Amino acid sequence: MARPKIALIGAGQIGGTLAHLAAVKELGDVVMFDIAEGTPQGKALDIAESGPSAKFDGSFKGTNDYADIAGADVCIVTAGVPRKPGMSRDDLLGINLKVMKSVGEGIAAHAPNAFVICITNPLDAMVWALREFSGLPHEKVCGMAGVLDSARFRHFLAEEFNVSMRDVSAFVLGGHGDTMVPLTRYSTVAGIPLPDLVAMGWTTQDKLDAIVQRTRDGGAEIVGLLKTGSAFYAPATSAIEMAEAYLKDQKRLLPCAANVDGAYGLKNTYVGVPTIIGAGGIERVVEIKMNKDEQAMFDKSVDAVKGLVDACKGIDNSLS
């Protein structure tokens, strides 16, 4: 059977890391597309040249021509601009919306059967716009945010409890912004929910609240340290986890920005929810029960996403 084809739209910090991870995991042949001439070609060649030492097989191509993504099974989109210190994700909206239009048209023309994972910020509005511009089925277009936000939450929790990250599972839902919703009741260490761990004296409610806030500010913390761009190792790793779930039909239950139509009382809204990812793309949106406080946080987050989607409609008349 031929190797799957993975198209990376955007060959910057995340794009390059995605290509390297896909190579090392032998997920398939990789095509990197970017408008910057030389960048995708240089990164693809550099990664290919690491193959003999790292011992992977695959073909790696850099391109400035959408025709080269033809027939891709997966497209991961990072094209656009990242944040600089002092910027919010929402500040990127105007620039990145135009980028989503060209990317959506490129994917529709050359890789209409792909499973598309958007990473470009502001995430929930950009994945919505990318779906609109591409016209692909909703279940084949999603956004990466929840896996990353949950991974950050899991890392902070594992440090606090001094346990393996493998035994910490966590849920972060809602939009990928300051209003994201880390759900402590659904987050556990080997099945023991966080509120029980507070009662057991493993941590205090104040410390847990601080970890929740650090999770919400996780992206800004890295932007503040790097000063020239935003996080890329963990975002790329998270998107590769989603791509692998699709390519290997793993039926993983992963939080991601998916089109929610019916569940959570929402109608055609892209926002972070638990989903099942398998060969059908987003095969299921999982509706969990939230208490009053959680529901209020989720509603606030959905409102923030709706505000950004309305702003997109105000900028581009073709979006209705």
At its nearest, how many Å lie between ligand A3D and the CB of residue 219? Answer: 6
Q: Which residues of 141-163 are buried (b: 16+ CB within 10 A; e: fewer)?
A: bbbbbbbbbbbbbbbbbbebbee
Residue 176 annotated among the catalytic residues of the structure: yes
| Residue 237 interacts with ligand A3D (CB under 6 A): yes or no | no
For 290, other C-beta atoms within 10 Å of its C-beta total: 18
Q: How far apart are CA 112 and CA 75, in angstroms?
A: 10
Binding mask 33-62 for ligand A3D (x = CB under 6 A): -xxx--x-----------------------
| Residue 72 interacts with ligand A3D (CB under 6 A): yes or no | no
Q: In DSSP terms, which residues pair with 60 in a beta bridge?
A: 30
Q: Which is nearer to ligand A3D, 123 or 194 (CB)?
A: 123
| Residue 78 interacts with ligand A3D (CB under 6 A): yes or no | yes
Specify the amino acid at residue 304. A
Question: Is the previous residue joined to 122 through a cis bond, with omega within 30 degrees of 0?
Answer: yes
Q: In DSSP terms, which residues pair with 169 in a beta bridge?
A: 188
Q: How far apart are CA 183 and CA 170, in angstroms?
A: 7
Determine the interface stretch with ligand A3D among 49-57, 142-150, 194-202, 274-282 (rule: CB under 6 A).
Answer: 142-150
Find, among 160, 157, 108, 158, the residue nearest to 132 by Cα.
108
Positions 83 through 122 that interact with ligand A3D (CB under 6 A):
83, 92, 96, 99, 102-103, 119-121
Determine the interface stretch with ligand A3D among 65-73, 141-149, 158-166, 280-288 (rule: CB under 6 A).
Answer: 141-149
| Residue 22 interacts with ligand A3D (CB under 6 A): yes or no | no
Q: How far apart are CA 281 and CA 23, in angstroms?
A: 22
How do 181-189 and 281-285 pair as beta strands?
A: unpaired
Q: Which is nearer to ligand A3D, 119 or 129 (CB)?
A: 119
At its nearest, how many Å lie between ligand A3D and the CB of residue 37? Answer: 10
Q: How far apart are CA 152 and CA 139, in angstroms?
A: 26
Specify the amino acid at residue 101. K
Binds ligand A3D by CB under 6 A, chosen from 79, 197, 309, 312: 79
- Residue whose beta carbon is closest to ligand A3D: 12
Indicate which residue of 20, 110, 155, 176 is catalytic. Answer: 176
And the tokens for 62?
A: 């850099």
Q: Which is nearer to ligand A3D, 255 or 281 (CB)?
A: 255
Q: Which is nearer to ligand A3D, 189 or 272 (CB)?
A: 272
Q: Can you give the binding site for ligand A3D, defined by CB under 6 A?
A: 9-15, 34-36, 39, 78-83, 92, 96, 99, 102-103, 119-121, 123, 144-145, 148, 176, 229-232, 235
